[in-house]
Amino acid sequence: MKKIFAANWKLFKSPQETRSFLNSFKKVFSQATGEVVFFPPAISIEAASECLKGSGIHFGAQNCHAQVQGAFTGENSAQVLKELGGTYLLIGHSERRQIFSENDSMIGEKVALAQNLGLIPMLCIGETLEERESIHTFRILETQLALGLSKADPSKPLVVAYEPVWAIGTGKVATPEQVSETHTDVYNILQRLGFTAPILYGGSVKPDNASNLLAQSHVGGFLVGGASLEVESFIKIAST
């Protein structure tokens, strides 16, 4: 199956910076060995939509509200994303869970909404360092998947991104053994719940660790933060 290389830009890149990055990226995109998806900040999504038209490069939003419209000051609509040509929706990133108090039930609603609109939910799961050290990783991932997918349709497209919280933005990447073992667990949990989905790894992915990580069992690609902000480092990862 085609690998997926997704760029989570978080709160970086203005519309102008988005255009300039994507115009440069389009020149090297043919080197990519899988599908490429950009998640710009919400205010730069329209710029991405214009730039990427007809390019074969996908984009999506980092978050959205569980309803498509209403009195929800400060939120963004998945329906508007769809209208702009977006294909993916990142849901339940650990920063959303930790900083913005998103819980598994809200996340489950968003996954269902994305699927109902014909968007592909990219559901993020992952354990904290404390949870890993107390050997609770399996149980945490099982709960996040069971609740996050409680309203999802197994017949519709889905992507899961496993991102150990302790590896995000820390430079502390999971070892290939940890990735292989945990991705196998995630694969088995998904099977038991009746889902099949590519499982991306995320957390300090860099050009120099990408090929080793991609070779591990059940690694369907990457969700990349810091190293996706420069064309050179991101295309190196996407051409692994």
Tell me which residue of 123, 126, 59 sits closest to 91, measured CA to CA: 123
d(CA 11, CA 41): 6
> In this chain, which residue has its C-beta nearest to ligand PGA?
225
Q: What are phi and psi of 39, to 5 degrees?
A: -115, 85
Q: Please name the residue ranges forming H helices in the chain.
A: 15-28, 45-52, 78-83, 94-99, 104-117, 129-133, 137-148, 176-193, 207-214, 231-238
Give the binding site for ligand PGA (CB under 6 A): 8, 163, 168-169, 202-205, 223-227
Closer by beta carbon to ligand PGA, 50 or else 237: 237
The token pair that represents 55 in the structure block: 């390019």
User: How far apart are the C-alpha atoms of 86 and 210, rounded to whole Å?
Assistant: 26
Residue 171: CB minimum distance to ligand PGA, A: 8
Catalytic choice (58, 93, 183, 218): 93
- Quote the least distance from Cβ 87 to ligand PGA, whole Å: 18
Least distance to ligand PGA, CB of residue 202, Å: 4
Report the residue number, 8 or 63, with the smaller CB distance to ligand PGA. 8
Question: Least distance in Å: CB of 63 to ligand PGA?
Answer: 12
| Active site annotation includes 93 | yes
Distance (Å, whole) CA 140 – CA 168: 17
Single out the residue of 15, 39, 53 nearest to residue 225, CA to CA: 39
Q: Which of 95, 127, 131, 163 is catalytic?
A: 163
Cβ proximity to ligand PGA, 51 vs 205, nearer residue = 205
Closest to ligand PGA by CB, 172 vs 192, is 172
Instruction: Give catalytic residues, as residue numbers.
Output: 93, 163
